[in-house]
Amino acid sequence: MKDLRLRISNTIIIIFVLINFSYGQEKEFREPQNLDVKIFRVFNNYRTSFLDVAISITDKSLLPVSILTPAGFYAISYANKNHYDENTAVLCLLSEATGTVTTLGLKHIFKRKRPYQTLSNVFYNKQNSPTDEYSFPSGHSTVAFSIATTFTLRYPDKPVLISGLYLYALIISYGRLYMGVHYPSDLLGGALIGTGSAVLIYSLRKEIIKGKNNLFNQSSHTDSNQNLLSSYFPLIAIISADIINHFFLSEKTRFEVNATGTGMTIGINQRF
pLDDT-derived band at 196 (thresholds 50, 70, 90) equals very high
pLDDT grade for 79, boundaries at 50, 70 and 90: confident
**pLDDT tens column, 56-71:** 889 889 999 999 999 9
Summarised one tens digit per residue, pLDDT across range 145-170 is: 999 999 999 999 889 999 999 999 99
125: helix, strand or coil = strand
Strands (E), 15-102: none
pTM comes to 0.80
Q: How far is CA 250 from CA 38, 41, 65, in A?
A: 34, 30, 20
Three-class DSSP category at 129: coil
Which pLDDT does position 144 carry in this prediction? 97
Please report how many Cα atoms fall inside a 13 Å half-sphere around the Cα of residue 207, on the Cβ side.
6
Is the bond leading into 234 cis (omega within 30 degrees of zero)? no
Tell me the domain boundaries of the chain.
Answer: 53-271
d(CA 57, CA 74): 26
Query: Looking at residues 110-139, what average pLDDT do you find?
Result: 82
In the CATH scheme, what is the code of domain 53-271? 1.20.144
Q: What is the pLDDT of residue 5?
A: 46
